[in-house]
Amino acid sequence: MLLVAAGGVEGACLGTGQALALNATGINLPQRRWIAATALGAMIAWAIGLLPSTLPAPAWDDPVVLSSAIALGTLLLLAMPALQAAVLAYAGRPAWSWLGISAIAWLTGLLWTLAPMPLVDESAPPLLVLAAFGAAGVLMALTVAAITGSWVVRVVKDTSSSVSPRGQRAGRPSHDSGQRSEGSRSPRPDPT
């Protein structure tokens, strides 16, 4: 439980950084909701990720074990992006594209955690273990940031290109008209 709670703290730190970065680019989000969603997603991912260490060795030839592992792996991968996508949808931002790009980012980034495995075993000096997994963690973070950052660039570019010379979003009436175009959704104010 301590590691799951630590995962929540890690998620809150990640969510804070992401919320600040997203809001700085003009993708305004309710920060507290984003941070809470990220922390909860991280806790779910950590709980699932730690589950194998608490169970006996699985029988991989058992279809129930294999399908359970696939389902839990999918949940681990999608927990944080899905909760964050819900916040994006609440704020009137593109949620489905975030779900996809974030899942790809985490899947790619998590591969870095496998990289140190050939370098370390039970006899490896602690400093080597720390350096190898520390470097893997930094590379994972950079990978996730680069991939999700590409989404941010695209959304900001799409948003800025859809603004008319008068400052109105293309295809949407001004706020003064009191009308909303079909299918448009105004971002909700941050209740925090």
pLDDT, tens digit, 9 for 90 and up, residues 7-43: 999 999 999 999 999 999 988 899 999 999 999 999 9
Q: Round to whole Å and give the CA distance between 124 and 172.
A: 61
**DSSP helix/strand/coil, 22:** helix
The residue among 192 and 89 whose pLDDT is bigger is 89
Tell me the sheet residues that pair with 163: 169
Mean pLDDT of 77-102: 94
Looking at every residue in the chain, the average pLDDT score rounds to: 85
Which residue ranges make up each domain of the chain?
A: 2-56+64-168
- Sign, CA torsion 102/144/47/34: negative
pTM: 0.77
> What pLDDT shows up at residue 168?
44
Q: Round to whole Å and give the CA distance between 106 and 41.
A: 12
CB contact at 8 A, 80 and 45: yes
- What are residue 112's phi and psi, to 5 degrees? -60, -25
In which band, very low, low, confident or very high, does the pLDDT at 190 lie, cut at 50, 70 and 90? low
The residue among 99 and 190 whose pLDDT is bigger is 99
List alpha helices for 51-122, DSSP H: 63-90, 96-110
Mean pLDDT of 91-102: 93
The residue among 135 and 167 whose pLDDT is bigger is 135
Mean pLDDT of 58-82: 92
118-141 burial, b at 16+ Cβ within 10 Å, e below that, comes to eebeeeeeeeeeeebbeebeeebe
Percent with pLDDT over 90 in the chain:
66
Extract the tokens encoding 123: 């006899």
Q: Round to whole Å and give the CA distance between 36 and 1.
A: 18
Q: Which amino acid is at 158?
A: D
Q: Round to whole Å and give the CA distance between 186 and 171.
A: 13
> What pLDDT shows up at residue 172?
38
